[in-house]
Amino acid sequence: MKRLMLVMFCLGLPLLAQLPRGFYPWWDSPVAKDLNLTDDQNRQIREIVKEYRSKLIDQRASVEKAEVELQDIFNEDNFDQRRGNEAIERLIAARGDITRSFSQMSLRLRAILTPDQYHELMRRRPNMQPGNLMRELQKRNQNGPRPGGARQPRPERAPQQ
């Protein structure tokens, strides 16, 4: 029974790595072109994204590291409950940090948009069903560098078992 619960938990971990509902990189999508942003709005958006980019990359790396550490603990033959709980707390903290930063950045970006632009953005956001956003982001990452900036390398992840 314990083994079954462990397997179910491990299979559910990728679902937890998704961004909070409603968050997606709209500023780097075709939707942004359809919002009729002014040159000043585009400049402000680029500045804000640039300000947060390094922090978000580091925080995403921390989340991935915490996920791998937790997976390694689950895969150990001599499972240690205490170490597992500590790894879970590190993962929770890492996810909280990245959620906070992305939310703060999103709030600043929202302040740049007019009410009409914001409503159009919400109307055009991608389907937020579990997994759709992550598939879209993975597809974009596989398509090479994006206009306006080079694609950031992602840390290696341990293969899922």
HEC-encoded secondary structure of 109-134: HHHHCCHHHHHHHHHHCCCCCCCHHH
Q: Report which secondary-structure segment, H or E, holds 49.
A: helix 39-75
CA atoms within 13 A on the CB side of 144: 1
- 42 and 106 share a domain? yes
- 57 and 88 share a domain? yes
- 47 and 58 share a domain? yes
Say if 157 falls within a structural domain: no
- 85 and 135 share a domain? no
Name the one residue in this structure whose structure tokens are 């002014």.
38
What are the residue ranges in the chain where pLDDT is below 70?
Answer: 1-24, 126-161
Say if 48 falls within a structural domain: yes
pLDDT at residue 47, as a whole number: 97
Integer Cα distance of 161 and 34 in angstroms: 42
Structure tokens at 139: 């597809």
pLDDT at residue 31, as a whole number: 84
SS3 at position 142: helix
Report the sign of the C-alpha dihedral through residues 29, 35, 39, 43, in that order.
negative
pLDDT at residue 137, as a whole number: 55
pLDDT at residue 109, as a whole number: 95
Say if 81 falls within a structural domain: yes
Which range marks the domain in which residue 71 is found? 37-112
- 99 and 43 share a domain? yes
Say if 2 falls within a structural domain: no
